[in-house]
Structure 1
């Protein structure tokens, strides 16, 4: 959510920042709504003062026996009362229009975010690991012999339709081990608080984390009006909604492993093979609530946490900073981590780490009280995948595949797999 006061102070800068995202100028229409709203409020306040004055004079007219003046003043009080009610309703309607308009405008990019139109303009800033040289052409995850029988798309389609999968046996266990490894690493090494969060949330939680009103079609809604979370960013971030936190409590760092649900409304025809893009998937999410002065460093810390997971799993990756045209709606800056998938011979996104500044905090009124006793300020919120479990499974399987159809598994997973380090060609752990 944008601060209308900041737009009033520098409308040209606001429009220039929107233009970097490829969005049209909005300040004129917003300020016109704001001016009309403020004019109605002022008119209502003026009418209220006139009503108060007339109310005081009614008694005086009655006391001196001036019936005509008494009746005139009574009629004026009644007229002003109706006028005030009408103008307050009009001001309320204009305020709702302004709030809705502000809620539909994307966050402004940070100054250091590169300009660009789409993913082709993203800028690589880091690369780790060297892709393997395979003796034979590497296969995609679902075609690896040791995987194929345990990655059942046909049965999932029978029960749920396209973009679902049933993982079975050893592959299901590897998937579970990955999630456990991620959570343990974030808790034990990275100092995050583990949270077991709901996957059903109310409208307010989706709105507060900028998923509504503009992107409702991207998520699933139940018949009684609840939403299935697109990521646990929603309940974790919204957990501080309406709070005034002590400055000493910041930063708050959380992680959760949950099911996530997305309609993939804009991805028809994309990534239809395999389990890269699913309606239901699992993710280990990281969320930080910080002091504004600490949010820049916090984003870098979160990025290191996510990259560390891939390095521990021995998966080559690269990190890019998203350009203005490829960033998500609520982000000021986003780093994408892309894992190397030899079956596709390319890097694919496995984590996004974003800072929203105070964009979400304004929507959900999340503030902190400065230690010096000053006026409460909005916190900054950040979120990042640490990591997408299904995509990490794909990366582990494809990078570890062997010519005989088996898969060499990362050493870091052995404690979670009973010491086993190989998925055999017939789909067993050894």
Structure 2
């Protein structure tokens, strides 16, 4: 959530950056400022009326002590009148504060200075890439056929048990999932991240804190009786670990990694791009979260990008890194890099990770702060990234490494999987 003071002091900049994000309701900025003016006016009225009550109450004691009962009675009547006037002011103030908050959360985060102009994925800027696209032998097939051939994943069984988008991993397919999760977590913890295992459901406050509410409410599964949401990513519970906390500067950066299943309704997703593992309602992912000092967050963003890049290199997967344009970024992000890997059998790029800097947008909602060297409370910056999402990684590993002798696995997975191939 943006801070009102920042909006007031930098209105033209805010409008200019919202335009980069192609935000369709810039008039909300004026609504926020008008509501803030009303809030200040009502706050002043409230404080002045409360001061009159306090002053008159003190006078009553003095008048009673001096024996002036008539004067004391008059001031009591004044206090009663002031209190009666205070009620409507307090009610109006509370309503204005709620209206201000509800309007403020409609504004997305502002894109950073290095975010490219553009509106669609075609406007994203490729930063760099690596690896070579494999040339498959004649007769090579996509991962959904390989999954059936080697009895790795049963999509029809998942559809029977739950529905479309909930696959059942079997035999060596289940082992490959476990191997990837263990490898990713070990890789992250070896690089200074603390592993956590959070709940897979969160309350409304947690979903609001990371920006899933109110922006992505329609994409989450909701447990109505308990008012819980199934997590769309580990980012939500992990970042909320520090909600309403004040950290010491010496405790920063906070670096966490977590494995969780992720649940997404993916409403409106249809067609060939959802086949197989390309788009699921439940999938596994290993996540990174960092909380850092504001002046270090963009250096940390680049560090996290390099961390994920090295992980992809270790899997021998051809990849590219995209700096997302303003119109293709999420509601809460200030800058996002997407990682895509090449699916050889499908002959297209598949997104497998997003690494984002949210600056103080999330932490302002969650009130995650630290005490600076002057003892003043400051908002930290939050960042997160996938390291990595499994479905499309599995799809590309199967497709890119298929041979007549089986599916060859990268050396980094041999220990975790217990073999060099799926045969």
If the length of structure 2 is used for normalisation, what is the TM-score?
0.95
Structure 1 residues 266-296: Cα deviation after superposition (integer angstroms, max 9, x where no partner): 4244633102211111000001111112111
Structure 1 match to 2:246? 244
Larger mean Cα displacement after TM superposition, 113-122 or 78-87: 78-87
Partner of 1:134: 136
The 10-residue stretch of structure 1 (354-363 or 77-86) with the greater mean CA deviation from structure 2: 77-86
Asked if the contact 1:146–1:407 (Cα under 8 Å) also holds between the matched residues in 2, the reply is no
Question: Counterpart of 2:353 in 1: which secondary structure?
Answer: strand
Deviations 1:128-173 (A, max 9, x none): 0110112326421011276463311111111101111011111111
Give the secondary-structure state (helix, strand or coil) at the position aligned to 2:242.
coil
1:398 aligns to 2:414 (yes or no): no
Cα distance per residue 1:165-207 (max 9 Å; x no partner):
011111111121111111111112x221111121121111111
- Whether the 8 Å contact between 1:44 and 1:83 is mirrored in structure 2 is no
1:104 corresponds, among 106, 111, 124, to 106
- Which secondary structure state, in structure 2, belongs to the residue aligned with residue 44 of structure 1? helix
Deviates more, 1:84-93 or 1:325-334: 84-93
Aligned equivalents of 1:337, 1:231: Cα separation in 2? 17
**Where does residue 196 of structure 2 map in the other structure?**
195
Decide whether aligned partners of structure 1 residues 422 and 56 sit closer, same or farther in structure 2, where only a CA change above 3 A counts.
Answer: closer
After TM superposition, the structure 1 = structure 2 runs for residues 210-221 of structure 1, keeping only pairs within 5 Å, are 210-221=211-222
CA distance in 1 between counterparts of 2:84 and 2:44 reads 16
Give the Cα–Cα distance (whole angstroms) in 2 for the partners of residues 301 and 337 of structure 1: 14
* Deviation for aligned residue 1:258: 0.9
Counterpart of 2:172 in structure 1 is 170
Change (3 A) 1:147 1:239: farther
Contact 1:205 1:234 in 2 (8 A): yes
Equivalent of residue 51 in structure 2, options 49, 52, 74: 49
Structure 1 residue matching 2:328: 3-state secondary structure: coil
* Contiguous gaps of at least 5 residues in structure 1: 425-430
What is the CA–CA distance in structure 2 between the aligned matches of 1:166 and 1:207, rounded to whole Å? 31
User: Match for 1:37 among 12, 36, 39?
Assistant: 39
Which of 296, 302, 305 is the equivalent residue of 1:300? Answer: 302
Counterpart-to-counterpart distance in 1, 2:124 and 2:203: 34
The whole-number CA distance in structure 1 between the counterparts of 2:192 and 2:93 is 47
Other-structure match for 1:204: 205
Q: Describe the superposition over 1:276-323 as per-residue Cα deviations: whole angstroms up to 9, x where unpaired.
A: 211111000001111112111111111111111111110000000000
User: In 2, distance between residues paired with 1:137 and 1:229?
Assistant: 39
Q: Secondary structure in 2 aligned to 1:357?
A: coil
Q: Mind listing any 5+ residue stretches in structure 2 that lack a counterpart?
A: none
* 3-state secondary structure, aligned to 2:273: coil
Cα deviation code 1:92-130 (max 9, x no counterpart): 111111112212211000011001111111000111011
- Mapped partners of 1:87, 1:147: distance in 2: 72
**Residue 19 of structure 1 corresponds to which residue in structure 2?**
19
Q: Map 1:327-338; keep pairs closer than 5 Å.
A: 327-338=329-340
Deviation string 1:365-393 (CA, Å, 9 cap, x unpaired) is: 111112x2331111111000000012211
Show the counterpart of 1:279: 281
* Native 8 Å contact 1:144 1:406 kept in 2: no
**Which residue does 1:421 correspond to in 2?**
420
Does structure 2 retain, via aligned residues, the 8 Å contact 1:202–1:226? Answer: yes
Distance between the aligned counterparts of 1:215 and 1:35, measured in 2?
30
Alpha-carbon distance in 2 for matches of 1:266, 1:304: 33
What CA distance in whole angstroms lies between the structure 2 residues aligned with 1:63 and 1:283?
73
| Equivalent residue, structure 2, for 1:3 | 3
Query: How far apart, in 2, do the equivalents of 1:145 and 1:292 lie?
Result: 45
- Quote the Cα distance in structure 1 between the aligned partners of 2:391 and 2:14: 39
For each residue in 1:23-58, what CA deviation from the matched residue of structure 2 results, as whole angstroms up to 9, or x when unmatched? Answer: 132221111111111111111111112222333344
Cα distance in 2 for partners of 1:56, 1:242 equals: 37
The answer to whether the Cα contact below 8 Å between 1:251 and 1:291 also exists between their aligned partners in 2 is: yes
